[in-house]
Amino acid sequence: MRTADICIIGGGLLGTATAYYAAKAGLKVVLVEERELASGTSGVAFGGVSLAIYSYASARVPKTYVELSKASLSLYQRAQQEIGPPLDLDAPGSIDPFYNEEDSARGLERCRGLQACGVPCEFIDYKQIKEIEPAVAPIAINAIYCPVDAHVTPMGVVWAFAKAARQMGAEILTNIRATSLISRGQRVVGVATSAGEIFASNVVCASGSGVPALAAGVGIQVPLDLARGQMFVTERIPPLLRTYVHNIKQTPSGTIVFGTTREPGVKDTTVTSVEGTHKMLKWASELIPALANVKLLRSWAGLRLLPPDGYPIIGRPEGVDGLLLAVMHRGVTLAPAVGGILTDLITDGKTALDISPYRLERFASSAVGAEAQETFYGT
Amino acid sequence: MAPERTSGDLRTAGIGRGLPVPVYVDGKEVQAFEGETVLAVLWASGDHTLHTTARTREPRGFFCGIGVCFDCLVTIDGIVNLRACLEPVRVGMKIKRQQDPGYTHAR
């Protein structure tokens, strides 16, 4: 039997970032991962750490959400100083293109909103896009350009956080399945696993699609939609892209990584499809015509997690003590902020960032889901 | 007896060839012959480095010559990473020896 101050379920970005910040705060940390580190969503994600690009095409992004993203980018920068490689944060800036007047109008509104939140972004026309990123075709009529936007290799970051957490004493255990939460009355006191029980005064559920079932075991309903996303990587080519253009980036090795589809209701999220591949290649080569002559090396597919309103579920749910949730769509961007927040909640009982909009209880009220019905840009 | 070579050219003399095909190698006009591959043209020039590697910038020539080893990658008419051994020459083709894009990828 193990005991800890905090037991984290899930060895992805959210789990390992939380392990890092909790260990740094002096907590005794145990993390359990069912398979290997980064074997879920973190291992398949694009890797954007963005203040300006949001998956939903909503015109308004809540200030609290922008603040979370800004805090996360700062924490990434600090973590990179503290940890070093393979935390490979690079900040070439991003371009989020719009293809028609209607999208542009919403993009302009989003840009103004982001600027009001202190994001140093600009709304630009095609001529300006061309100056920054000559490879982009004029099907992009406008764009939001955000020069501070960054990206990472998510798998590398998971390993970096895990290694750093271990060095500070965290136990990171892989190939151990969390089967259920152990509760005493209204309090979660530990985790039953395939390798025995782990007792902890705080249990963090950060295992993505595994969270609803675990939480349901203690009477907490976590609504979560799942979709398949397909990603692609090309051969190495000479420098073509400086920034990342929505979800198209050139890695330091010269490959182009891009995606992603969003396919709800697909049972096997580990296989790619000819239709999805065709659709994404068409989009990418229309936006960046030079890609038409570049050879595709490989594609992969994975889960995309979508809380029904598109926004994260962070913190302690009502009705049960000792339990913390971290379930979201933009886990790569938000992981360090969420890790810091959960650590603050455990050590101080409060956190400096406003996470009240991201309580689970918001789903108990109506008016949920309108945002999620809107389409993704470019996919 | 060693085969005779034409001057400045490693092609064996006295063999029937197709029509002359002018191509450009690294910007310089070079005479190739119909039916030759890009690899044959580059090899005949005597400079056997076809590209340099991404990480260590080491020179690479061809290895298999039949499309399998991917060690003869060159840029042809702006398209990178084409196998020189599989590309027949065409009039006016612009062939470039590649410095492979790689870990020094500059922004």
- Please name each of the domains of chain B with its CATH number: 20-99 (3.10.20.440)
pLDDT at B9: 83
Residue A366 reports pLDDT greater than 70: no
pLDDT at A59: 75
pLDDT bracket for residue A229 (50, 70, 90)? very high
Provide the percentage of residues in chain A whose pLDDT is more than 90. Answer: 85
Chain B contact set for A238 (CB, 8 A)? 80, 101
Give me the mean pLDDT over the B55-66 stretch: 90
* A377 Cβ neighbours under 8 A, 6+ residues apart: A57, A96, A97, A98, A103, A246
Give the torsion sign (CA, B24, B29, B34, B37): negative
pLDDT bracket for residue A265 (50, 70, 90)? confident
B99 or B50, higher pLDDT: B50
**A36: which strand partners?**
none
Residue B95 reports pLDDT greater than 60: yes
pLDDT at B57: 85
CA distances from A209 to A21, A191, A192, B71, B78 (A): 23, 17, 18, 43, 45
Q: For tokens 């400086």, what's the residue?
A: A242
Q: How far is A233 from chain B, CA to nearest CA, in Å? A: 15
pLDDT at A369: 44
Residue A158 reports pLDDT greater than 80: yes
Chain A contact set for B54 (CB, 8 A)? 236, 253-254
DSSP label at residue A357: G
A305 contacts A311 by C-beta, under 8 angstroms: no
Question: Is B54 close to A236, i.e. CB distance below 8 A?
Answer: yes
A57 contacts A106 by C-beta, under 8 angstroms: yes
Residue A376 reports pLDDT greater than 60: no
pLDDT bracket for residue A264 (50, 70, 90)? confident
Chain A contact set for B103 (CB, 8 A)? 252-253
Q: Mutating which of B77, B80, B97 best tests the A interface, going by the most A Cβ atoms within 10 A?
A: B80
Provide the percentage of residues in chain A whose pLDDT is more than 70. Answer: 95
Q: How far is B37 from chain A, CA to nearest CA, in Å? A: 20
∠ at Cα A47 (A43, A53), nearest 5°? 140
Residue A372 reports pLDDT greater than 50: no
Question: Is A252 close to B101, i.e. CB distance below 8 A?
Answer: no
pLDDT bracket for residue B104 (50, 70, 90)? very low
Question: Is B81 close to A252, i.e. CB distance below 8 A?
Answer: no
Q: How far is A170 from chain B, CA to nearest CA, in Å? A: 33
| Chain B interface residues (partner A, CB cutoff 8 A) | 54, 78-81, 100-103, 105-107
A198 contacts A178 by C-beta, under 8 angstroms: no
Question: Is B102 close to A236, i.e. CB distance below 8 A?
Answer: yes
Question: Is A254 close to B80, i.e. CB distance below 8 A?
Answer: no
Residue type, A125: D
* A169 Cβ neighbours under 8 A, 6+ residues apart: A23, A28, A29
Beta-carbon count within 10 A of A116 CB = 10
pLDDT bracket for residue B101 (50, 70, 90)? low
CA dihedral A183, A203, A309, A339 (to 10 degrees): 170
H helix intervals, chain A:
13-24, 63-83, 101-116, 126-132, 154-167, 211-216, 274-287, 331-347
Provide the percentage of residues in chain B whose pLDDT is more than 70. Answer: 86
Chain B contact set for A147 (CB, 8 A)? none
pLDDT at A365: 63
